């Protein structure tokens, strides 16, 4: 995941698939950590998970697993379209019928079951995706994946991933997240840049 986060976006299909598998493994390990954490850690992790769900799925679709799955389907579809050569010269084409059907299976099942809620939630997911905060989405994902583990990114690397956000702005953002969600929010690895110093306010 470290290589994926720090990449310039020019990843191969195999690299993207490996990153996808790694992200699921890290999320599963975080869930396992939650089950063995002490009461204080569990409470902090619950709050952090709510932040992750809202930043990833949006306030509406985070309310249940059934609704969150619609947002996950949209993510899978976008990854498939980007990595499979589905879009060429601005035109859509069927490149591998079997894989195409597999990734569209949730839509086909919704059609078969006349599941109008699926399509309503899909519209919500698409609208949220257009306005999703990239900063919150990344910081929430990284925080949840690193829960109970040794952090892998420095402050400078996170700043680079977020498009070289001004250092002061990023410091204040991290401070706010830690005040809101506790010690699990955006853990940092010490490096040449080091962890940011806390800023004084008001």
Q: For the ranges 72-86, 110-124, 156-170, which has the lowest average pLDDT?
A: 72-86
Question: How many whole angstroms separate alpha carbon 139 and alpha carbon 162?
Answer: 9
Question: How many whole angstroms separate alpha carbon 185 and alpha carbon 140?
Answer: 8
Domain edges within the chain? 2-181
Question: How many whole angstroms separate alpha carbon 144 and alpha carbon 90?
Answer: 36
Angle between helices 134-146 and 39-61 in degrees, nearest 10 = 150
Question: And the tokens for 83?
Answer: 């990595």
Q: What is the tens place of the pLDDT at every residue in 123-137? A: 999 999 999 999 999
What does DSSP say about strands 87-88 and 91-92: parallel, antiparallel, or unpaired? antiparallel
Question: How many whole angstroms separate alpha carbon 65 and alpha carbon 72?
Answer: 10
Count the residues in the chain: 202
Q: What is the tens place of the pLDDT at every residue in 73-112? A: 998 888 777 766 666 666 666 666 777 888 889 999 999 9
């Amino acid at each position: 995941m470290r290589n994926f986060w720090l990449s310039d976006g020019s990843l191969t299909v195999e690299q993207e698939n490996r990153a996808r598998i790694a992200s699921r493994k890290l999320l599963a390990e975080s869930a396992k950590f939650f089950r063995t954490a002490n009461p204080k850690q569990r409470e902090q992790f619950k709050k952090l998970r709510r932040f992750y769900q809202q930043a990833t799925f949006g306030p509406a679709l985070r309310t249940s697993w059934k609704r969150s799955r619609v947002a996950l389907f949209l993510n899978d579809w976008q990854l498939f379209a980007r990595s499979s050569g589905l879009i060429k010269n601005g035109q859509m084409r069927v490149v591998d019928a079997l894989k195409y059907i597999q990734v569209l299976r949730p839509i086909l099942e919704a059609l078969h079951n006349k599941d109008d809620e699926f399509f309503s939630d899909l519209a919500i997911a698409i609208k949220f995706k257009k306005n999703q905060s990239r900063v919150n989405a990344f910081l929430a994902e990284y925080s949840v994946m690193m829960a109970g583990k040794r952090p892998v990114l420095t402050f400078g690397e996170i700043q680079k991933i977020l498009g070289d956000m001004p250092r002061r702005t990023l410091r204040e953002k991290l401070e706010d997240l830690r005040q809101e969600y506790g010690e699990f929010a955006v853990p940092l690895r010490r490096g040449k840049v080091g962890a940011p110093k806390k800023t004084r306010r008001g």
